[in-house]
Amino acid sequence: MKFHTPSFILGFGSAVVVMGTARRLKPAVVEIGALGLHLAHLGRAVLERQREHAEDLWAEVEERARHMRKAPRRARAGATTGNGKHVPSAAGAQANAASH
């Protein structure tokens, strides 16, 4: 491999510049590191909230599925006819008739 003098001088010069400015750059590097750590904590908190929301949603889905397994199709609250129209339950119809 051939020794290339200009490349050596540029590399040595950049090392000297970096070592000379290390004291001035240290506060900036520390500040950038602290900001990165803060953003990582914020991101983790957001992910945790979203995970909890997804778990709550899944619990509701499981509860609805458990409810659907227990009740016959027409007896379910909110059951519809084949055309999408709501079929009121007998208890709901009696409560509405009594309130009018």
Q: Which of residues 56 and 82 earns the better pLDDT score?
A: 56
* 86 Cβ contact partners less than 8 Å away, ≥ 6 residues apart: 78, 79, 80
Distance CA 30, CA 22 (A): 12
Give the confidence band of 19 by pLDDT, cuts at 50, 70, 90: confident
User: Which of 14-18, 34-38, 47-51, 69-73 is the least confident region?
Assistant: 69-73
Distance CA 99, CA 17 (A): 86
